[in-house]
Structure 1
Amino acid sequence: MNVGSQHPGQFDEINQSKLELCIARVPVFVHDLSAAMRSPLPDGGRRSAASNTPAKLARSSSYSTDDHSTNSHRSSARSTAHSIANALFGCFTPPDPSKSSSNVFSDSSGASSSGSDRRRSIYGSSIDSTYSREHGSVIFTMEVINKATKNFSPALKIGQGGFGTVYKGQLADGTLVAVKRAKKHGDERILVTEYVPNGNLREHLDGIKGDRVDFAVRLEIATDVAHAVTYLHMYTDHPIIHRDIKSSNILLTENLRAKVTDFGFARLCADGESGATHISTQVKGTAGYLDPEYLITNQLTEKSDVYSFGVLLVELVTGRRPIEPKREQKERITAKWAMRKFSCGEAILTLDPRLVRSPANSFALEKILELAFNCLAPHRHNRPSMRKCAEILWEVRKDYREFSVFDAPPLPSKSPVSNYIREV
């Protein structure tokens, strides 16, 4: 499925067709090495592979107003990790069983193969029988992981974060994977994910990876990310707040399609059925992307992701980082500078100087900055939903293509320029 061309009217079908392009697939796990994570579950002891998750997923604070309760923290961490892993696996669409070999697993009912004890890898090829599978996830032994990473060789280290180190690994069948090793308070947890070799969005905007990313590709990336976060907010069994949407967490495939990754700060959304409107929790995130309302009140909602997405939109069209300390004072906070220019009718001055100032680019720039303006509203109630963002970007993308082909602006929209115009 080409998510970039998804029509907004088809959003209700996303849960069935699955967003395989937009969220970094996480269908493979290693047994959790933490004794706490091996404790019985409230559901009578049933544990899926998704529950054996790494500290990277289980790190988020307790799903309650008290972040200092250890038992509540562990229970919530397991629940959060379970939901996130299931959501991510929901984005993994295996090959059509009718077209694949006989070694096929059911999509979500656990390990089931026919005619062989060999198992299918995340790319559909058969892999060594030392791997087992539960509830759609593949589980590896430490022996397999040590072999894949050459005992976590420093030469294979490809990343380092606050929650652990990431290594490049190669499975016995040749499949390349990313292996995250996280340690905290004596616990060690390991996560194996799809290896995306083309770097992250920030590296491409900086010119570190690949050639210059043109405007059309940036628009596609924005659309991909919007669809992915919409999926997290609306189409998982329990909605998820990513809490760290930023350019370095957007991985790009070789054909420059975007995948949202790094769920270290992810939290389950508030339980709307109980009347809860937010989660009270310690502030987590990245400077420059943080929702100021969340920063002040410690109240987390899906709209915090929307704010971060607004910052990302500005970053995409300007090419600048959210905070530019070496620039003059009025330009150091990129989002504020860009919104000020947009409000004064000088949006074109914010366009990345490496991009062409064509009529099509100017048109799309205005529309994207307008959406960013709404996403960056000071109060969450004035921000659009991620679904609305995805719908708007889909329309902008469609008009941009028509504009580029015919070199003429589309008919003006009947909607007002912005519903949330305010002083910046």
Structure 2
Amino acid sequence: MGNPATPLGGRSPFDGRRRRRDSCDASRSSTPSVSSGRNPVSIAARAISSCFGSPEARSPSPTDDSEDFKAPYVTPSLSTQGSSHGSLQGSRRRSMGMHTDGSSHSRHQPGAMRLTITEIMMATKNFSPSLMIGQGGSGTVYKAQLADGTVVAVKRAKKNANNSRMDAEFQNEIQTLACIEHLNLVRLHGFLEHQDERLVVVEYVPNGTLREHLDCQRGKILELATRLEIAIDVAHAITYLHMYSDNPIIHRDIKSSNILLTDNLRAKVADFGFARLFMVESDATHVSTQVKGTAGYLDPEYLRTYQLTVKSDVYSFGVLLVELVSGRRPIEPRRELNERLTANWAMKKFMKGSGIQTLDPNLQPSLATNFVVEKILELALLCLAPTKKSRPSMRRCAEILWTVRKDYREILSSDLHFPPSGQRNH
């Protein structure tokens, strides 16, 4: 029998206070609003024209901000400290950045669960293939039920000769998960190191991945309104990581297969094995690091310079927005050559004024649908700018999506009040 899992440490007072700032936003007014009323094609095309045309790119012109990003309901919560391998100082979470479901006071703190290898083996039925719910480059995920009835997900790191990389990702994930808590982020329960086993126990999210839903592997097709809500959830989660966690965190692997959906189709961002955390004391805006991520989502500037910034997550989010609209994967090798890179194909369509042609064929066009498609693709174009300075912050992305949702609901409401002209009484 193994020793009980070591929790992620006790709490210690956080001596320094991180000054309030948006580290990834040079100026909020420098990012054009999707709902500004200007020609969206010309605004967005200027932002990243060098991606698909002339190398001379001009920054978008300043416009007024739209509706400010606000948390609907927030409650402060204590974070935990890091693992014994790399301590992270804990502090009381800023209330503005901590979204909760109203029950955070009754739950254990992240990472506080203590488990033994025997308990894990029993909960997973010796890692039974029948309980496997996911598999990736870094390990396999199992659904498990603990002795007290709690259903969790257990991520089991791969075992191979080169364990140094796996160990680094394991430590990275538990250290990151230990200092975050947000409604749209998968929550850490605990972890265990036993001989050559590296196990992370996290919240179980029952409704599969966003990619599975877009591939229609989960039954009902995701409606466009639901896709917009998912985009907003993910934007909130990444904004929290960049701005409101104890230290800024870059996820580095934002993609549809790392977004889990609850039974009511709320999104939760998962898999922090590649995440990079900036220490407050360094006040760093970028870091030189080995490129990590997933093909099709990788920031081209990061690939070229090895300089990782929060705007690398923004680029990946832009790819995700295109996925939500089109239903396609980022790379489609079986399609014609000009359609294989989905983001490039969609942006060219949008810049020619044919954005609606990128709509997932499972969705029906309408006045409201056409509006949302145009606005989401316009935002995607800004996120996919070739340089970080031309991309909006994630906070700004959230603000824009809130405005799109508001306008979309108004269009739907007006459609309900005014039936098609052929059905009106004359």
Q: TM-score of the superposition, structure 2-length normalised? A: 0.67
5+ residue gaps, structure 2, are 1-65, 165-194, 417-426
**Which of 235, 243, 253 does residue 244 from structure 1 map onto?**
253
Task: Give the secondary-structure state (helix, strand or coil) at the position aligned to 1:224.
Answer: helix
Q: Measured at CA, do residues 275 and 159 of structure 1 come closer, stay the same or move farther in structure 2, by a change above 3 Å? A: closer
CA distance in 2 between partners of 1:142 and 1:294 (Å) = 39
5+ residue gaps, structure 1, are 1-6, 19-26, 28-47, 53-73, 98-103, 105-121, 123-132, 409-424
Which residue of 2 is the match for residue 386 of structure 1?
A: 394
Which residue of 2 is the match for residue 226 of structure 1?
A: 235
CA distance in 1 between partners of 2:102 and 2:376 (Å) = 34
Once the two structures are TM-superposed, the CA of residue 159 in structure 1 deviates from its matched residue by 1.8
**Which of 286, 290, 296 does residue 294 from structure 2 map onto?**
286
Q: Measured at CA, do residues 151 and 314 of structure 1 come closer, stay the same or move farther in structure 2, by a change above 3 Å? A: same
Report the AA paired with residue 328 of structure 1.
Answer: E
Taking only aligned residues, the RMSD between alpha carbons, in angstroms, comes to 3.0
**Which of 347, 351, 376 does residue 368 from structure 1 map onto?**
376
Of stretches 301-310 and 344-353 in structure 1, the one that deviates more from structure 2 is: 344-353
CA distance in 1 between partners of 2:319 and 2:415 (Å) = 29
CA distance in 1 between partners of 2:104 and 2:287 (Å) = 40
State the Cα deviation string for residues 343-365 of structure 1 (Å, max 9, x = none). 11111111111111100010111
Which residue of 2 is the match for residue 209 of structure 1?
A: 218
Q: Measured at CA, do residues 172 and 178 of structure 1 come closer, stay the same or move farther in structure 2, by a change above 3 Å? A: same
Which residue of 2 is the match for residue 114 of structure 1?
A: none
Task: Give the secondary-structure state (helix, strand or coil) at the position aligned to 1:180.
Answer: strand
State the Cα deviation string for residues 231-269 of structure 1 (Å, max 9, x = none). 000000101000000000010111111110011100013
**Which of 344, 347, 353 does residue 339 from structure 1 map onto?**
347
Which structure ranks higher in relative contact order (CA pairs < 8 Å, sequence separation ≥ 6)?
A: 2
Report the AA paired with residue 375 of structure 1.
Answer: C
Task: Give the secondary-structure state (helix, strand or coil) at the position aligned to 1:322.
Answer: coil
Which residue of 2 is the match for residue 51 of structure 1?
A: 83
Quick check: 1:169–1:178 contact (8 Å CA) kept in 2?
A: yes
Q: Measured at CA, do residues 189 and 297 of structure 1 come closer, stay the same or move farther in structure 2, by a change above 3 Å? A: same
State the Cα deviation string for residues 257-295 of structure 1 (Å, max 9, x = none). 111001110001375x64633110000000000000001
Report the AA paired with residue 193 of structure 1.
Answer: V
Q: Measured at CA, do residues 270 and 349 of structure 1 come closer, stay the same or move farther in structure 2, by a change above 3 Å? A: farther
- Residue 340 of structure 2 is aligned to residue 352 of structure 1: no
CA distance in 2 between partners of 1:188 and 1:181 (Å) = 7
**Which of 208, 211, 231 does residue 199 from structure 1 map onto?**
208
Task: Give the secondary-structure state (helix, strand or coil) at the position aligned to 2:144.
Answer: strand
- Residue 88 of structure 2 is aligned to residue 11 of structure 1: no
Q: Measured at CA, do residues 152 and 233 of structure 1 come closer, stay the same or move farther in structure 2, by a change above 3 Å? A: same
Once the two structures are TM-superposed, the CA of residue 149 in structure 1 deviates from its matched residue by 1.0
CA distance in 2 between partners of 1:140 and 1:257 (Å) = 29
CA distance in 2 between partners of 1:255 and 1:15 (Å) = 20
CA distance in 1 between partners of 2:72 and 2:246 (Å) = 15
CA distance in 1 between partners of 2:345 and 2:68 (Å) = 34
Task: Give the secondary-structure state (helix, strand or coil) at the position aligned to 1:167.
Answer: strand
Report the AA paired with residue 316 of structure 2.
Answer: S
Which residue of 2 is the match for residue 269 of structure 1?
A: 278
Task: Give the secondary-structure state (helix, strand or coil) at the position aligned to 1:138.
Answer: coil
CA distance in 1 between partners of 2:356 and 2:128 (Å) = 48
Which residue of 1 is the match for residue 112 of structure 2?
A: 137
Report the AA paired with residue 360 of structure 1.
Answer: A
- Residue 144 of structure 2 is aligned to residue 158 of structure 1: no
Q: TM-score of the superposition, structure 1-length normalised? A: 0.68
Which residue of 2 is the match for residue 34 of structure 1?
A: none
Quick check: 1:293–1:378 contact (8 Å CA) kept in 2?
A: yes
Q: Measured at CA, do residues 294 and 15 of structure 1 come closer, stay the same or move farther in structure 2, by a change above 3 Å? A: farther
Quick check: 2:69–2:396 contact (8 Å CA) kept in 1?
A: no
Q: Measured at CA, do residues 325 and 187 of structure 1 come closer, stay the same or move farther in structure 2, by a change above 3 Å? A: same
**Which of 248, 259, 277 does residue 268 from structure 2 map onto?**
259
Report the AA paired with residue 405 of structure 1.
Answer: S
CA distance in 1 between partners of 2:217 and 2:71 (Å) = 38
Task: Give the secondary-structure state (helix, strand or coil) at the position aligned to 2:148.
Answer: coil
Quick check: 1:342–1:369 contact (8 Å CA) kept in 2?
A: yes
Once the two structures are TM-superposed, the CA of residue 210 in structure 1 deviates from its matched residue by 2.4
Which residue of 1 is the match for residue 153 of structure 2?
A: 178
Task: Give the secondary-structure state (helix, strand or coil) at the position aligned to 1:11.
Answer: coil
Which residue of 2 is the match for residue 42 of structure 1?
A: none
State the Cα deviation string for residues 365-386 of structure 1 (Å, max 9, x = none). 1110000000000000100000
Q: Measured at CA, do residues 224 and 17 of structure 1 come closer, stay the same or move farther in structure 2, by a change above 3 Å? A: farther
CA distance in 2 between partners of 1:236 and 1:8 (Å) = 23
Once the two structures are TM-superposed, the CA of residue 96 in structure 1 deviates from its matched residue by 7.1
Q: Percent of aligned pairs with the same residue? A: 63
